[in-house]
Structure 1
Amino acid sequence: MDPIKRQKDNIKYGIDIWNVYDFMYLNHNKIPQLVVLEIVIPYESDLIIESKSLKLYLNEFYKKSFSNKEVLIKKIKSQLELTIKHPIKIKVLKKFRPEPKYLDLNNTKLKKTKPNTIIKFNGFRSICPVTSQPDFANIYLYLDKSIDVGYLNKYLMSYKEHGGFHEKCIDKIFIDLYSKLKPDHIEVCGRFQRRGGIDINPIRGTKKKILFNNFREFNQ
């Protein structure tokens, strides 16, 4: 696997949730097991993993046998931590959490949002700086302050030609909105559509306890 240096900004807390859908291994009876992996990488890590190299690494497990899931997870976890030199969390995902209740930014008639509201922007688009292909996501935002609906819509739509990795787009949204509003509590979550069987969902916030969990969008 190939590590990539994380370009850090002035952000206190965050995680990157990677859901791996195309993962198969053999159990102790050599019977194929197709499962979904959840990998959580803390923002504090100085390194992240290049997604294609992770996919190639995980693809090799289809022909490897393990006595149980715990042994499997321990092997993958140790290799990932060796690669990025930081503790991570990984598990076999049994189900996704439900989507939180939110204000639909695309269709609301409000001119300003209310404080302490979860806002959802549907149809975020950015450009992968490596392939020049579009990336699509829904953006979830928690703010303890109100914000102008028209401004926020225009701001998030302005990313449609922006070149940036998933993580850096969410970093920038967090920093821009934090600089503008100076809230005590803000959290930004990007639920990106999968590429190569993996979706990457960065979360950035001002509180150590993360508000958004690993829920799944219909189109992910």
Structure 2
Amino acid sequence: VKTRFLGKKTPGISKYSPKILEKVERANIQSMSSFFGCDFWNAYEFSFLNSSNQPVLETLEIIIPMTSLNTVESKSLKLYLASFYNKKFSNIQNALKLIEKDLYKLVKTKVSVTKVKKHPVPPKSLLVNNKKNLIPKNKIIRFEGFRSICPVTNQPDWANIYIHSSDDQIDAKKLNRLLKSYREHGDFHETCIESIFLLLLDDFKLSNVTIFGRFLRRGGIDINPLRSTQSKLLFSNFRDLSQ
């Protein structure tokens, strides 16, 4: 994967720079076409100037549908958001609308950008690490310490993985083995979660399943892919303590 900024030294940016945004083509558009989901991006370092010329620092939630042709390369998004620091807005809504407009041009799908006031708490879940039994259906299970490798920088990405199946039991021992097998796997967050999702359907024979990867932030941004067989998504954009 070739990118302009990820893993490279970048120059300082002193003014609003939408052209710095870089697209990444989705890897599994065809195989995921009959399913549902989105990517929750939390950007913790967004600043601009208000009408009094005073700096404002906010956290943003960016929701990109999984059906978009492209997503955004994370380092370019960090640099793009950083370029707002000296741009003046009469209110934050004007800034959010501009970000939505710029991201729409990049990913070719409507994107939601909102100010985060408070993240929901994580749902009650059953820790599946080291369990070897069958997990009853309709239980939210959690695997802690998921690790994969960024395919560009070769640096580790960490996450807690949440899984729910309303119709079928899940073999905990087999699931642990699957999730631990990604520890040296090189792929972006979204591709890893989609790969696991498809394996849960094909190898585990689950008919109704939702998976949510809560990844730790890098560069002030965390990316949290959610994939499901159901159009009504089970999870909100909650925040784990480790995030």
Q: Please tell me whether residue 183 in structure 1 is matched to residue 206 in structure 2.
A: yes
Q: Aligned pair 1:124/2:146, yes or no?
A: yes
Within the candidate set 39, 52, 75, 2:75 is matched to: 52
Q: What is the distance in 2 between the residues matched to 1:77 and 1:49?
A: 12
Aligned pairs for 1:32-181 within 5 A:
32-106=55-129, 108=131, 111-144=133-166, 145-181=168-204
Q: Which digits, 9 at most, give the CA deviation of each residue in 1:101-131, with x for residues without a partner?
A: 11110255x6110011111000000011100
Q: Write the distance in 2 (CA, Å) between the matches of 1:107 and 1:32.
A: 48
**Distance in 2, Cα, partners of 1:167 & 1:190:** 9
Map of 1:30 onto structure 2: 53
Greater per-residue helix proportion: 1
**Corresponding letter in the other structure for 1:130:** V
What one-letter code is carried by the residue in structure 1 that aligns with 2:66? Y
Give the distance between the partners of 1:136 and 1:183, measured in 2 at CA: 25
Q: What amino acid does structure 1 have at the position aligned with 2:76?
A: S
TM-score scaled by length of structure 1: 0.96
The residue aligned with 1:10 is: 31
Q: Match of 1:48, SS?
A: strand
Distance in 1 of aligned mates of 2:156 and 2:204: 29
In the TM superposition, what is the alpha-carbon distance from 1:3 to its structure 2 partner? 1.0
Q: Please identify, of 85-94 and 181-190, the stretch whose mean Cα deviation from structure 2 is larger.
A: 181-190
TM-score normalised according to structure 2 size: 0.88
Q: Distance in 2 between matches of 1:73 and 1:59?
A: 14
Deviation readout 1:39-58 (Å, 9 max, x if unpaired): 00001100111111111111
Distance in 1, matches of 2:27 and 2:177, equals 26
Task: Work out the percentage of aligned pairs sharing the same amino acid.
Answer: 47
Native 8 Å contact 2:121 2:240 kept in 1: no
Q: What are structure 2's unaligned runs of at least 5 residues?
A: 1-20
Q: Deviations over 1:26-73 (max 9, x none)?
A: 111111111000000001100111111111111011111100111111
Q: State the distance in 1 between where 2:153 and 2:210 align.
A: 29
1:215 partnered with 2:205: no
- The 2-side partners of 1:85 and 1:70 are apart by 21
**Structure 1 residue 189: deviation in Å?**
0.4
Q: Structure 1: state its 5+ residue gaps.
A: none
SS in 2 for 1:214: coil
Report deviation, 1:183.
2.8
Report the aligned-residue RMSD: 1.1
CA distance in 2, matches of 1:90, 1:34: 15
Cα separation, 1, equivalents of 2:208 and 2:54: 48
**Separation in 1, partners of 2:37, 2:96:** 23
* 1:151-171 residue CA offsets vs partner (Å, 9 max, x unmatched): 111111111001110000000
